Amino acid sequence: MHAISVTGLRKSFGDHVVLDGLDLSVHSGTVFALLGANGAGKTTTVKILSTLLSADAGDARVAGHDLAREPDAVRAAIGVTGQFSAVDTLLTGEENLLLMADLNHLGRGARRARVAQLLDQFDLVDAAKKPAMSYSGGMRRRLDLAMTLVGSPRVIFLDEPTTGLDPRSRRTMWQIIRDLVAGGVTIFLTTQYLEEADELADRIAVLDGGKLVAEGTAAELKRRIPGGHVRLRFADQHGLDTAMSVLGQASRDNDALALRVPSDGSLRALKALIDQLDHRSIQVDELSVHTPDLDDVFLALTDQKVTR
C-alpha cells in the first residue's frame, strides 16, 4: 500500500525547470529520504506534495487522495515540518501547541492531555511557558515537529529537519523520527546529509536536475558503485611483502604497513582472502572492510551530469 505515489510530476518557475518528470512511491509506514544538493528541487517537491504549490503536470496521490482534486482531504491527513521553523515566536511553546489543538478541533479535555503529552515527549516541559522566540534552534525544531503531530497525521513531510542543528540535537531528532515510524506513520524526508538518509530511511532517492537519478535501499545504492575494499595492516615489512606477493592485485601503503585489496565485502570473498593469508601463515594485525558510503554514491551519481 502506497502512502505517496507520484508520476510525471513537473514544475517550472518561469524558464527555470525545477522538476522534470518526477516519479516516486512511498510505502505506508516507511521512511523515504529524498536526497539532493541545494537547489535540486527537494523543497519544491515537498511544497507540491503538501498542497502549498500546484504542479504544472503529473499525478500525485497522498494518503489515498488525489492532490489536485482533493487537497483538503490531503491536508487533513498530512503534517509538514519545513526547513524554516513554523512556530509563532510571540507565543509560548504551550500556546503554540494549544493553537494547533484548537485548529485540529480537539475536545476540551483532549487538547490539554495531548499538549501535555507532547511537551513531555519532546522534552519541552521546562520551556513550556516561555515564548518560542527565546528557544534554541534545536528546541524550536522540536516544538515545530510537536506542533505537526498534534493532529496525529498519517503522512509527515520533514523538509531538512536537522539542517542547522548541532550534533546532539540532530541525534535527538533522529530518535524522535524513529519513534514516529515505529508508531506506524509514513515519513517523507528531504535531506542533504547522506548520513541522515543512511540512518533513517528505508528507501533513498537521489534527486538531480529535477529527476530521480537513483533509488533503492542504502545498501543497494552503495552496491551500484565501485570502491569497496579490504584494508589489511601488518606487524612488519616482511608480512606486507609476503601478502603482496600472494594477493597480487593489491595496492600497498608502505608507511602504514597496509594493503588495500579490492573486494565487494561479502562473506565469501572475505573467507577466501583469509584462507589465502592463513595458508601462508601471514600475521595480520588488523583487518577492516570498507564499503563505499553514500557520499561516494552521491558524488558518483550527481557527478555524471557534470562530466556528461
Partner 1 sequence: MTTISPPLRFHPLRDSATMLRRNLKRMLRYPSMTVMLVGMPVVFLLLFVYVLGGTLGAGLGGGRSAYANYVAPAIILMTVTAVVQGTAISVAMDMTEGVIARFRTMHIARVSVLTGHVVGSVIQALFSLTIVIGVALLVGFRPTAGVLAWLATAGFLVLVTFALVWLSVALGQVSKTVETASNLPMPLILLPFLGSGFVPTDSMPTALRWFAEYQPFTPIIETIRALLMSHPLGNHAWLALTWCAAITLTGYLWSKHLFNRESH
For partner 1, the binding residues (CB under 8 A) are 1-2, 13, 44, 47, 50-54, 61, 63-65, 72-73, 75-76, 78-80, 82, 84-91, 95, 99, 102-105, 131, 147-148, 151
First to last CA, the chain: 37
CB of 88 to partner 1, least distance (A): 5
CB of 183 to partner 1, least distance (A): 19
Picking from 46, 51, 4, the residue whose alpha carbon sits closest to that of residue 185 is: 4
Picking from 228, 260, 161, 259, the residue whose alpha carbon sits closest to that of residue 201 is: 161
In terms of CB distance, is 95 or 241 closer to partner 1?
95
In terms of CB distance, is 87 or 300 closer to partner 1?
87
In terms of CB distance, is 68 or 91 closer to partner 1?
91
In terms of CB distance, is 144 or 198 closer to partner 1?
144
CB of 95 to partner 1, least distance (A): 7
**CA distance linking residue 66 with residue 60, whole number of Å:** 6
CA distance to 92, 126, 140, 143, per residue, from 130 (Å):
5, 8, 12, 12
Are 23 and 180 spatial neighbours (Cβ–Cβ below 8 Å)? no
**CA distance linking residue 163 with residue 275, whole number of Å:** 46
CB of 129 to partner 1, least distance (A): 13
**HSE of 146 in the Cβ direction (CA atoms, 13 Å)?**
28
In terms of CB distance, is 96 or 263 closer to partner 1?
96
In terms of CB distance, is 90 or 299 closer to partner 1?
90
CB of 24 to partner 1, least distance (A): 16
CB of 86 to partner 1, least distance (A): 4
CB of 60 to partner 1, least distance (A): 13
**CA distance linking residue 172 with residue 193, whole number of Å:** 16
In terms of CB distance, is 54 or 117 closer to partner 1?
54
